[in-house]
């Protein structure tokens, strides 16, 4: 999984990146995932990690610096952001802490939560 922390070590803050819309490097992702279906390359935490070759060797990587994994801006218009309850939890299950691009086919999770 890809979890991003934006606070000091030991602070309980972070974001689980559950999915991504593949726009470059499709051939490498398809090879790693063993599928040609673009929609299924990075839709879900495990699929995303496999598609992007993310493993424990990247634990603690600084995503604000150039390296094997980094956060960047591509100025791609993402659309309307929706929010819903989180998936697969029981504690604070009613809190709206899941954010996604509405009507995007690459968003993971049940369809009823992606409207």
Total number of domains constituting the chain: 1
DSSP string, 52-108: TT--GGGTT--TTSSSSS-----------EEEEE-SS--TTTTSEEEEEETT-TT--
Q: What residues make up the domain containing 12? A: 2-113
Q: Residue 50: give its domain's CATH number.
A: 3.10.300.10
What is the per-residue pLDDT across 52-82, written as a single tens digit (0 to 9) for each?
Answer: 999 999 998 999 898 998 888 888 888 899 9
Where is average pLDDT lowest: 7-11, 16-20, 110-114?
Answer: 110-114
CB 4 within 8 A of CB 94: no
d(C-alpha 35, C-alpha 63), whole Å: 28
pLDDT at 51 (0 to 100) = 97
Gap between the terminal Cα atoms of the chain? 24
Q: Can you name the residues that pair with 69 across neighbouring β-strands?
A: none
């Amino acid at each position: 999984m890809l979890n991003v922390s934006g606070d000091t070590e030991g602070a309980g803050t972070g974001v689980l990146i559950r999915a991504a819309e593949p726009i470059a490097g499709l051939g490498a992702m398809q090879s790693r995932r063993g599928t040609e279906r673009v929609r299924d390359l990075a839709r879900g935490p495990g699929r995303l990690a496999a598609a992007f070759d993310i493993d424990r060797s990247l634990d603690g990587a600084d995503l604000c610096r150039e390296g094997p994994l980094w956060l960047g801006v591509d100025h791609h218009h993402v659309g309307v952001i929706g929010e819903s309850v989180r998936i697969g939890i029981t504690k604070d299950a009613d809190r709206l802490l899941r954010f996604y691009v509405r009507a995007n086919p690459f968003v993971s999770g049940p369809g009823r939560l992606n409207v």
